[in-house]
Every structure is written in C-alpha cells, then in structure tokens.
Structure 1
C-alpha cells in the first residue's frame, strides 16, 4: 500500500514538474499596444534601409488563440496601417501568417512586459530571419536588451545587425 501511494505521489510530482516546463499560453497578455525596442535581421541592412522610426503596434487576441496585429508605417510621407492575422498552431508560441504561412514565434522574456518575436520564411528560394524585442512601453530596459542580444547570439545573428529604432507615438509625415 505504501509503495502504491509513493508511486501515485511521484507520478503527480512528475506531472506538476512537466507542466511547469511547458511554456504557458499567455495569449491574453499579448492584447494591447506594443513598442519595438530592438530589431535584428539575418542581413545587415544599409543605414538608409533601416526603419528610422517605429510606431507602436496593436495586438488583439481573437477567438481560438489567433492574434490580429495592426502595424503603422510611413511611406512616401504618408501614414499607412496594415492588419494581419497570426494563426495559432499546435506548437506553443508558434504562429503562422495566414496569407504567407510565414512561421512566427513569440517567446516571453524574463523581463516583465517584454517579448521576443522571431520569424523565419523562404522567399524566392532564400531564407529570411528576423527577431524583434517588443515591450508595452517605450522606456529603455538594459536587462531586456541584454536578453535580446543573447537571443540574437543563440540564433547566430551578427551582433552588428542589431539596431534600436527611434520610438514615436504619432505618425506625422515629415515635411519636404
């Protein structure tokens, strides 16, 4: 009887420990406004090709765990919004863009309200990868930046490919 009790106790402990190892599904935590704090790409972009300003993005959790993302960007002095849906997959933290089937991974950092979004896709036979540190506020956080640099290093991104865009809350066209 004691051995049966010990076996049940051990099995329960294993189940609890395994549940702690699995990433939690923080889908509700992702809804809201997010700021891009740092970006890394597999290609070193010339300075003229890097985004000078980054606007906050809005994330809305949809039924079934999908995410609707609205980004704002400036092109030819005009403000533009673009919406896309990230479809949740069976793999925790993995999403696909519905139109392109681009793989997107969202991982929580150890710093509160900071996440890393990692994407990889093939376009015209070439592989493209990008990582982005996002936060709920535009304030700098050295601890989050250090963790992002470690992430970039683990994915074999060159350190010189990390850049920090200027944060802006408004999309105001620049005067010519």
Structure 2
C-alpha cells in the first residue's frame, strides 16, 4: 500500500561534504597569544584564519611576517627564541628550509603579513595553495611537523633578502596540530 504523496517517489539520500580537514595552532609568545585555524579547501588550498592579540609593546602595531616553519617545535627558551622551529617550510627536491637564502620569498611556507592594530590585535584571513593538510609531499604534517611563527618585523618579500627583510626575530610560535 502506498501513501498518495510518496508512492513511486525515490527519496534522495542526504549528501555530506567530504571529510573536512582542519588543524589548530595555539600561538604563544611574551604577552602574545591567539588561535589560528587551518582548513583544507580543496586538493591543495588551505585557508588560515584566526585572531592574535598581545600587549602593543610586544606585538607592535603594523605589519609582522607570518610564516609556516619546517619543524613543529616552539621552544621560547632557545637562543634565539623559537629557533627550534627551523627555517621556512619548503620541502622537496628543489626547496630550501635555510632561514635566509636565494629562493626567498618563494618558500612554500611564506604567507601574507599579519597586520596588527593600535590595541595589539589582529584578525588573520589568508589562503595558500602552497601547502596541504592531507598526505603528500607538501603536507605540514610531515615527519617532524610544522609551526607558525610571528616575526618582529614585516616580511618585505625580497629575493636574496637579509634576515631582517624576511621578518627578523621570532616573537611568537604555535605548533600546527
């Protein structure tokens, strides 16, 4: 026996988006903290967004370099601080994770600068197609993990630039997990 409205109809099965890959980064430094969320948007595009805040004496108003670094270790007691996170993320046969060398600003871990307001707050929203959260040669989840670093100065994105032109000192770090 069929109900009048449903007889002969095939109900569509609900569809769900494919597994959503996300990662979280808890950023910390001297009087600096925040959270960034990385979301896989497709085969190889990752959105990075979140909020960072700090004392404006430490997280000064203006632009700060923000990069994915090659090692998932954030040791603030290292000399210099957070040097345990290695150079900019740049795996592969032609990449280089040396902190400053000839292929800068073309590391896979290079991201747009963080813009901090007068109160020491920043909202970050960027998309990169240079890394992935899924398995593969450019995954941030490789054998030694990855971290996100906030630098003291802006990244001027100059090829063959000095360390200061690539953001200078490291003032905050968070492991991508």
So what's the TM-score if we normalise by structure 2?
A: 0.31
The structure that is helix-richer by fraction is 1
Give the TM-score of the pair, scaled to structure 1. Answer: 0.31
